[in-house]
Structures are given as C-alpha cells and as structure tokens.
Amino acid sequence: MRQLRAEIEQVAPSDATVLILGESGTGKEVVARMIHCLSNRADKPFVPVNCGAIPAELLESELFGHEKGAFTGAISARAGRFELAEGGTLFLDEIGDMPLPMQVKILRVLQERTFERVGGRHTFTADVRIVAATHRDLEVHIQEGSFRQDLYYRLNVFPLETQPLRVLCEDIPEIVRALTQRFALAGRPVARLTDGALAALSALPWPGNVRELGNVIERLGILYPDQVVDIAQLPEKIRMQLPADWQTPDMPAPTVTRPPELVSHHGATPEDVDPRDMFAAGRASVDQSAGIRLPVDEQELAQCQCVLPEMDFDLKNQLEAIERAWIEQALINNDGVVAQAARQLGIRRTTLVEKLRKYQMSA
C-alpha cells in the first residue's frame, strides 16, 4: 500500500494517462479519485463511467454526447462525459469491456484530443486527463483480438496495480481504519474493533477484496453501533473461515480501533466521500490532501497532535478547496440539478447558488 500511495503521489501532478490494473474490489476507483485529488485538476470535475455497464449502442452517446435528432428519442442535445469532465479527469472504468468500434474512437481522442457529438459536426477539444482501469489481462485480450494493441500502448503510459487483500494481510488493520473513517464521514454507524478482531480479519483470504471487507465493516456498524467488537461478535461465517490452528496473538492490552470523531455528512454514501479523507487515517501527518480531524472537547484539544506546516499554511484556502470539492461532487451526483445538489449537501438552493457564483462554478 505504501508503494502504491507513493506512486500515486508521484504521477498525480503530471497529466500522464494512467492505467490501473487489479482484481475486482481492490479499490481501483479510489486510486483514480486520489490521482485526481492530488493533481493540478483537483478543482475541476472527476467524472467516472463504467464502460462495461453501459450497452454498446449507448456508449458513444454517453461518452461524447449527441445533438437533437441524432437518433430516435434524441429530443434534445445532450453533453457527454468528455464535456462534463472538461478541465478535469475522466475515469474509464472496466475499459477492457469496451467494444472494439468504441476503442477506435477513444484512441482518436487520445491521439488528437478532439471529438464530435453523435450527429454533430462541431469539433470539441478534449481537455481532460484519462485514467482507465480494468480487472482483465489486456495483453491476453490483445492476443485474442478483443482489445486494440495501439490503444493499450496509449493507455499504459503509467500503469498502477492494486493488490488483492490476500497479499496485503499486514495492511488490513490500516484498511479497516480507513473504511471505518469512510463510513463515519458518510454518517453511517460504526463499530470499534479490538486488536483481536483485527487480527482475525487479517487472517482471512478475502476473495471479494476491499469490497467484501467493507461490507463486513458496514454490517458490524449496523449491528454494534459505537460498541466494542471482539472476535466473538464477528459474523459466524467469518469465524468459520479462520485456519484451524489460528490463535489470537498475545497482546499487552485490549485496545480498540475507534473511528475518529469526524463531522458527519448525513445522507451521503461512502462512495461520495472524498478519497483524501479515506487515506487520512493511513498517513502519519496531515497535509493538504487529507482531512483534518477536529477535537471535540477541551481535554481532547489539549491532546491534539495535528501536524501543520511551520509556515505558509492558508487555512481559508484549504477549507474553500474542500468546500469546492464537495459542491463539485454533489453536482455530478445529481446531473447538475442545483436543487437536488443543495438537498444532498444539506443547504438551501439559494446558498448553493451563491457559492457557485463565489467559486465561479457552473452547474
């Protein structure tokens, strides 16, 4: 994980195309969001699209948009994902499932940085950074003729690989802390896991990877909100998977993994949470890419050990950047409908309109 994080921080400031490889459930979209958040495009949109979930006949219109009357049912013009991601990052998830005819069109955009809407003649400039991901072995698909070799070379400028949990057993406690923080930020109930429970989770193979582990952590939060969870409280299916010779490691004290007291964003889903906050639990210091934990009382304030730069730290700018990121994500989640975005953010529509004007953002 540390090596992956270092590679993310190394490639993020550039505009290089990134190809993320890894099994399903290993956090490829989280990596893509981290790259965006740490890049020079962080104040612009991050637009994800699952290439395998959209029917082949609709994918071109979804990516490039269409003009009125371009096909039956096109009663009005519509911007595609490339336009929505203008100046920001377009995340092409499961690109290995993209049909060959569409691969040709994506290759042209990567080469020429231009595209047209379906049924249109106007040429748009594609000022977007492409981050792609797949769980498939693209080199095998190239040999089988189902994936273009020239597109692979265009995408594979800076490859990153997410590891399955079965080879990251030592990192599982850190991942659990990050997931716990993620659910807390989304307003979900969370449990407090003992070291013994964390050791038990670390001994499992997790074929569903982070997605499967996240489901277990969420379930424990629902069953034991803000309660201590030891091995006995883990789901029976989990306990039955432990190796027969497994024993709880000797531990000096029964410590627990307690989620940080974070400002809760009720109504948000874990996927809506800024990935910078997810990784905050795993970092030794707090910087501009991570959330800052707020003390909740005077005693905790006295013990607070937030690491800040010695100079040149602009709190106002940092808070405004966070606010812009939340507004941007809310607009994407609600297809640019200001009223719905304001409702998700928990503010009035007029307040959101004022903030859009303040930050010179468009819906």
Do residues 45 and 53 touch, judged by C-beta distance below 8 A? Answer: no
The pLDDT of 131-153, averaged and rounded, is 96
pTM of the model: 0.65
For residues 259-281, average pLDDT: 46
Q: What is the pLDDT of residue 319?
A: 77
The domains of the chain, with CATH numbers, are 2-163 (3.40.50.300), 166-292 (1.10.8.60), 315-358 (1.10.10)
Reported as a pLDDT band with limits 50, 70 and 90, residue 323 is confident
> Which residue, 43, 17, 34, 10, is CA-closest to 323?
43
pLDDT in tens, 285-299: 333 333 333 333 444
Structure tokens at 278: 């997810």
pLDDT for position 313: 60
Average pLDDT over residues 318-331: 81
DSSP state for residue 118 in the 8-state scheme: B
Supply the pLDDT for residue 9. Answer: 93
* Residue 287 structure tokens: 């910087």
pLDDT at 252 (0 to 100): 42
C-alpha span between 66 and 79 (Å, rounded): 7
In the chain, count of helices (H) and strands (E)? 16, 10
Instruction: Specify the pLDDT at position 275.
Output: 54
pLDDT (0 to 100) of residue 188: 87
What three-state secondary structure class fits 209? helix
The pLDDT > 90 percentage for the chain reads 45
User: What single DSSP character describes residue 247?
Assistant: -
Angle at 167 between CA 161 and CA 169, to 5 degrees: 125
Shortest CA distance to 329 belongs to which of 271, 246, 267? 271
The confidence score (pLDDT) of residue 50 equals 94
CA torsion angle for 351, 352, 356, 358 (degrees, to 10)? 30
Diameter over CA atoms, the chain: 71
Helix (H) or strand (E) holding 12: none
| pLDDT tens readout for residues 192-238 | 999 999 999 999 989 999 889 999 999 999 999 999 999 999 999 88
